[in-house]
Amino acid sequence: MAYQQISIPVHEAVAEALSDALMDCGALSVAIEDAFAGTDGEEPIFGEPGMPVQQIWQQSRIIALFGEGVDAGASVAAAVRVIDLPLPEYRLDILQEQDWVRLTQSQFDPIRISERLWITPTWHETPDKQAVNLRLDPGLAFGTGSHPTTRLCLQWLDAYLPDGAQVLDYGCGSGILTVAALKLGAASAAGVDIDEQALKSSRDNAAQNNVQAAFYLPDRLPERQFDVVLANILANPLRMLGGMLAGRTKTGGHIVLSGILAEQAAELSAIYAEWFDLDEPVCDEGWVRLSGVKRG
């Protein structure tokens, strides 16, 4: 069985109403995405303490899935009539049925990060049983180790993590950095994410690796400082979270930032230089890692 996928660019003011109307008019599922996802115009949605909560991107894209025999165009027309909107431009794609589980799993093979560190999906055998192995099920959260931003952070942990450090992984995604820190010698580690699904994936991955970690929504993170603060997110939130991340880092502690494009590195370095003595940026496939030590 094939499926029909409709993609509709919309403004935030009508995104939720049109999504509900599409479900009422026959869609199997509906998702709202950032219209500029994957570009420099990507707009993060923040759920950080003290910040206004923005629920939907100003310029969004609705992705609606319909069954093979449905008149998807007629469903779109009916949905916009329900909420009294003109018929928008949209794109229709046909998605052939596949074994999505096997297809997804085939995209993730064991990844060697360093001489002693491997990431191995739970459905693969461990390639090197003498190495430090992270057993990982990405689930619905970002962070498999295959992306340069995550790889850069893992390499820092492998090379520079102080023994017995207390670590904060801000924007933990799958929990891969939290788990890696504990398996590489951290005394404790906490992960934070605004996405409940990410926290679930993180807890599952910690249990899979037999490590004890705490995971929180931002407002529930206890008031304390850490020896190492990791933030593998995006440049826009890193711009806004500098003061908060610095406040979470002990004097003499380390900051590790990733999710930064090479052309954004100078600006981010200037922001974080207010609190940290920064190392030379490290680049991997156009992405940059910034790291440094907090001044007293």
Shared-domain flag, residues 114 and 247:
yes
User: Are residues 173 and 266 located together in one domain of the fold?
Assistant: yes
The last residue of one of the domains, among 48, 68, 97, is 97
Closest CA to 211 of 220, 202, 224: 202
pLDDT range class, residue 39, cuts 50, 70, 90: low
Cα(231)–Cα(238) distance, rounded to whole angstroms?
Answer: 8
> Are residues 208 and 227 located together in one domain of the fold?
yes
For residue 68, what pLDDT is reported?
86
Gap between the Cα atoms of 3 and 26, Å rounded: 13
Q: How many domains does the chain have?
A: 2
- Answer whether residue 49 shows pLDDT above 50: no
| Domain hosting residue 58, numbered range | 3-97
**Per residue in 154-165, pLDDT tens?**
999 999 999 999
Is 57 a residue whose pLDDT tops 70? no
| Residues 90, 105: Cα–Cα separation, whole Å | 31
Most confident of 28-32, 59-63, 132-136, 271-275: 271-275
The one-character DSSP state at 274 is T
Please answer whether residues 228 and 253 qualify as being in contact, where contact means their C-beta atoms are separated by less than 8 angstroms: yes
Examine the pLDDT at 52 and tell me if it is beyond 60: no
Within 10 angstroms of residue 268's Cβ, the number of other Cβ atoms is: 21
Mean pLDDT of the 67-75 span: 91
Where among 64, 97, 130 does a domain terminate?
97
Q: Are strands 226-232 and 249-261 parallel, antiparallel or unpaired?
A: parallel
Average pLDDT estimate for 178-205: 94
Distance CA 271, CA 245 (A): 12
**Which of residues 47 and 189 earns the better pLDDT score?**
189
Both 84 and 188 in a single domain?
no
